[in-house]
Amino acid sequence: MTPRRVTTAVAADLARRVRGNIFFTISTNPFSTRVSSATSSHRVVKTHLGNIDDALASFNGMLRMHPRPYIVQFNKVLGLIVKLKQYATVVSLCKLMESLGIKHDDYTLNILINCFCHLSHIDFGFSILGKMLKLGFEPDSVTFNTLINGLCVGGKVLQAVRLSDQMVERGCKPDAFTYTSIVNGLCKTGNTNVAIKLLNKMRDTGVQPNLVTFNAIIDSLCKDKLITDAFNLFSEMKNKAILPDCFTYTSLIQGTCNLRQWKEATRLLNEMVAVNIIPNVVTFNVLVDALCKEGLISDAQIVIDTMIQRGEQPDIITYSTLMEGYCLRSQIDEARQVFDLMISKGILPNVTNYNILINGYCKCRRIDEARRLFDEMSQIALIPDTVTYTTLIGGLFLAGRYLSAKELFKEMSVSGQPLDMVTYSTVLHGLCNKGNLDEALELFQAMKDVDLVPDIVCYSIIIDCMCKSRRIEDAREVFYGLPAKGLHPNVITCHIMINGLCKEGLLNEAYGLFRKMEDHGCLPSSCLYNTIIKGFLRNNDTSKAIQLLDEMFGKGFSANASTVEMILNLSFSL
């Protein structure tokens, strides 16, 4: 077999081996124009390849040339494929080059490191760095920046900072890209304060922050509800002649919406339009989401109409948000209309859309319609997830269909969908509401058997059921054993226990627990005051009840209807 045919066979074999899990298939057709062996190594690679097929045809053509082009020509094609975001393809092509004896240079190795970072294989990226050093190539700022960015994207910000120190030790000066990568990583991991300190360090070292740097910190400040600091940074950015973009304004609009500053959000929207920055679908979705959460559906609909008028079409997130807004107002029929409208616009519903509707129907106790939607999912090749199952199980319990709820729970257990804490707490709550404490305790133990540690919600459900089942000793044992399990009772848990003790006439213990709550960071609520006051009234300890009543009023709480009724009955009997 001739060398040319061997090369073609190798390329074709690679294509067969990687088809199905790599993003390409190498073409084995030669270039239509024959290139003489005397001039092939000087052939210029086309730098405007429109798609992956063109790029692979160019690469395959270079493999056929004799002598082969210099490595710089291969690097150009690899760089073009990187721009097409076909990172796995580049890795495979680099392996093919190496197997054919085409030696990588430092530029090729930098391309490989970049691809591994984009594929979330940062360890392989560092392996290439080791190979680079072994071959005698000196890593440059591009090498370090690529790895630093890869570490930050993967949440390994501390390692990125250490690598930036090593970068300096090797004579490479961190630039705006270096600092911005770390700033972005710090913001995404919730370390906004550290990111601001790094921003100040940039200024001190003479490195000018760019738009991406400012955007990362402004967005993080907005998420932390530090909107004043975000606006101060926004002003500084503009004073440095760094023009904001759509992302900047969208972050600020999100921040103002989170604080319910609607006028400010509207002002920002008008301002961005005035400076010729066109709001995108994300900007509009932020506004729609905020308005829907406030129950302002008509205002959200106006935003969507404005969005359409400006040429932005609602996407699946827009429709999902509007559906959820209607469900929050128990307007399930309107939510269904939005769902149908979305489909009529050619947008296929996903699992989240179905989960929103199923949840809405369950809360309205229209369980048959929720069940029909659940069954419909499998008909359109959508697999119900943990949220779907858990929501419908909760709905079935709420509708009093205990057997159906338990059957669906069994179905979920064998479906392959993970049973999480919410699933178990939902089933525990359903069983306990029915008074099936023993069955609930069996499920509680089953959680532990699969190494799922029950949280305070699950324990609160069990304690409540024990109290209602008049098993106060068991409830006390579980309650007072919580600290040993690393759990601390919250206001709800304490309320459950105090209510149980009051009903059993154990007022002194209930009052002692009531007073100790604040020591554990739990402030008594209005509901809890009413509970213990009624406990003392039922046991004819009016002086203690009146003392607590005055204390409750002093904290701005009020007596509920049942407490008032007990006080009135007591006054009439005197």
The per-residue pLDDT for 524 is 84
- Sorting pLDDT into bands at 50, 70 and 90, what band is 18? very low
The per-residue pLDDT for 539 is 85
The per-residue pLDDT for 540 is 84
Give the integer Cα–Cα distance in Å for 456 and 143: 48
Phi-psi region for residue 382, left (φ > 0), alpha (ψ -120 to 50) or beta?
beta
User: Is the pLDDT assigned to residue 203 strictly greater than 90?
Assistant: no
The per-residue pLDDT for 572 is 58
Type of residue found at 214? F
For the record, the structure tokens of 50 come out as: 């429109």
Tens digits of per-residue pLDDT, 77-90? 999 999 999 999 99
User: Is the pLDDT assigned to residue 428 strictly greater than 80?
Assistant: yes
The per-residue pLDDT for 31 is 33
Give the integer Cα–Cα distance in Å for 292 and 301: 9
Q: How far is CA 91 from the centre of its chain?
A: 29
- Residue range 331-340: average pLDDT? 96
The per-residue pLDDT for 91 is 95
- Sorting pLDDT into bands at 50, 70 and 90, what band is 555? confident
Residues pairing with 4 in the sheet = none
The per-residue pLDDT for 19 is 36
The per-residue pLDDT for 562 is 85
The per-residue pLDDT for 1 is 43
User: Is the pLDDT assigned to residue 169 strictly greater than 50?
Assistant: yes
Domain map (residue ranges) of the chain: 1-103
Give the integer Cα–Cα distance in Å for 132 and 439: 62
CB atoms within 10 A of CB 515: 10
Tens digits of per-residue pLDDT, 432-458? 999 999 999 999 999 999 989 999 999
The per-residue pLDDT for 565 is 80
Q: Are 223 and 252 contacting, i.e. CB atoms less than 8 angstroms apart?
A: no
User: Is the pLDDT assigned to residue 21 strictly greater than 50?
Assistant: no
Q: Strand ranges (DSSP E) for 448-545?
A: none
The DSSP result for 163-197, as a single string, is HHHHHHHTTPPP-HHHHHHHHHHHHHTT-HHHHHH
The per-residue pLDDT for 425 is 96
Type of residue found at 473? E
Give the integer Cα–Cα distance in Å for 252 and 269: 10
Give the integer Cα–Cα distance in Å for 32 and 29: 8
Tens digits of per-residue pLDDT, 102-136? 999 999 999 999 999 999 999 999 999 999 999 99
- Sorting pLDDT into bands at 50, 70 and 90, what band is 558? confident
User: Is the pLDDT assigned to residue 569 strictly greater than 80?
Assistant: no
Give the integer Cα–Cα distance in Å for 65 and 44: 12
Q: Are 507 and 534 contacting, i.e. CB atoms less than 8 angstroms apart?
A: no
The per-residue pLDDT for 37 is 35
User: Is the pLDDT assigned to residue 41 strictly greater than 90?
Assistant: no
Give the integer Cα–Cα distance in Å for 530 and 545: 10
How far separated are the first and last CA of the chain, in Å rounded? 114
Residues whose CB is less than 8 angstroms from the CB of residue 448 and which lie 6 or more positions away in sequence, other chains included: 454
The DSSP result for 107-121, as a single string, is HHHHHHHHHHHHTT-
- Residue range 10-37: average pLDDT? 36
The per-residue pLDDT for 223 is 94
Give the integer Cα–Cα distance in Å for 279 and 306: 11
Report the share of the chain in percent with pLDDT over 90.
74
Least confident of 41-45, 222-226, 299-303, 552-556: 41-45
Task: Supply the mean pLDDT for the chain.
Answer: 88
Give the integer Cα–Cα distance in Å for 271 and 451: 54
CB atoms within 10 A of CB 208: 12
Residue 30 φ/ψ, nearest 5 degrees: -75, 165
Model pTM score: 0.77
- Residue range 15-40: average pLDDT? 35
Tens digits of per-residue pLDDT, 348-399? 999 999 999 999 999 999 999 999 999 999 999 999 999 999 999 999 999 9
**DSSP secondary-structure letter at 410?**
H
